[in-house]
């Protein structure tokens, strides 16, 4: 059984089909990158799969379960989590507290005014584990507003981990980052891929061809190709649609 079986997935905004009959099987193993020009429908695809948008047609089967049209909090319970192209943090809260809020929410005691001591300690411990994992433990006490852009992207990735997902969908985790920061996130993604299914939207072709086991190419909301990097690089349709200018 595939991890994802996506059938005829369609989302229209007025007359534009941002996702246009996408059918794709995504296997359990390996890092999958999704590429395609701006406006190809990559973020819309993530929004559909994670329940932020409802499809107009089609089905999303995850681990054999039909999750089509479910709400984000329901989909999170199936083990799917995501990071965002545009990072949104609680700016005045510390790095640690941003993660604590995420952990707390997912343990289901967000609405309780008082956490008992044991619970509070549990939340902090789990949050620190995540900061250790993503390499931000040193910055735990910094206000989120004070940390560099690369660390913000990493923190957002850490927030996606608070739901204990099996699958992580990362939307342009390296956008706007320096070479050094990209290298750091690439390394983190590789580490996380040992324990999580990673699906990543990325524009940096060096990164994409460096880390991917499979590449899905979207174009005008449709699947142009899905295959191993060497096949995608050699695919003439992909080259003329998209890669020509970027891969030498
Ligand atoms: N909420 C929306 N309302 C109207 N049009 C949208 C909306 N979200 C995306 N679009 C359009 O759908 C197309 C695909 O967008 P998007 O999925 O963000 O592409 P990508 O992430 O590949 O750059 C674009 O033409 C975009 O303008
Ligand atoms: Mg996008």
Which overall architecture, per CATH, does domain 1-79+166-176+198-248 show?
3-Layer(aba) Sandwich (3.40)
* Tens-place pLDDT, residues 186-202: 999 999 999 999 999 99
User: Which residues, 6 or more positions from 194, have their beta carbon under 8 angstroms from its beta carbon?
Assistant: none
For position 127, what pLDDT does the model report?
97
| 73-77, 78-82, 105-109, 224-228: least confident range | 105-109
Check whether 11 has a pLDDT greater than 50: yes
* pLDDT score for 109: 56
Residues with CB under 6 A from ligand 1: 13, 16, 18, 36, 38-44
Closest protein CA for atom 8 of ligand 1: 44
Report H helices in the chain: 42-49, 72-77, 95-107, 117-134, 149-161, 179-193, 205-211, 229-234, 236-241
pLDDT per residue as tens digits for the range 86-119? 888 999 999 999 999 999 887 765 555 556 777 8
Q: Is the pTM of this model over 0.85?
A: yes
Surface-to-core class of residue 47, CB atoms within 10 Å of its CB (0-12 exposed, 13-18 middle, 19+ buried): buried
What ligand is nearest to the CA atom of residue 216?
A: 1
Closest ligand, as measured to the CA of 86: 2
Rounded distance from Cα 62 to ligand 2 centre (Å): 22
Q: Where in the chain is the domain with CATH 3.40.50.300?
A: 1-79+166-176+198-248
């Amino acid at each position: 059984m595939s991890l994802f079986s996506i059938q005829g997935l369609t989302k229209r905004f007025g007359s534009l089909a941002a996702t246009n009959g996408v059918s794709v099987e995504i296997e359990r193993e390996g890092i999958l990158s999704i590429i395609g020009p701006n406006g190809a429908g990559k973020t819309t695809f993530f929004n559909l799969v994670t329940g932020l948008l409802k499809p107009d047609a089609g089905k999303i089967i995850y681990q054999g379960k039909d999750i089509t049209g479910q709400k984000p909090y329901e989909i999170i319970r199936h083990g799917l989590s995501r990071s965002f192209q545009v990072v949104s943090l609680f700016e005045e809260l510390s790095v640690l507290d941003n993660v604590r809020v995420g952990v707390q929410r997912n343990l289901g005691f967000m609405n309780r005014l008082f956490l008992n001591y044991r619970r509070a300690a549990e939340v902090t411990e789990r949050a620190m584990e995540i900061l250790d994992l993503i390499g931000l433990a040193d910055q735990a006490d910094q206000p989120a507003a004070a940390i560099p852009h690369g660390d913000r992207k990493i923190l957002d990735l850490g927030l996606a981990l608070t739901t204990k997902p099996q699958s992580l969908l990362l939307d342009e985790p390296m956008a706007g980052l320096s070479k050094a920061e990209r290298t750091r996130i690439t390394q983190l993604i590789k580490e996380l891929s040992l324990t999580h299914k990673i699906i990543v939207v990325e524009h940096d072709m060096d990164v994409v061809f460096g880390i991917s086991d499979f590449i899905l190419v979207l174009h005008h909301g449709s699947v142009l190709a899905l295959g191993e990097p060497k096949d995608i690089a050699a695919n003439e349709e992909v080259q003329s649609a998209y890669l020509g200018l970027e891969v030498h």
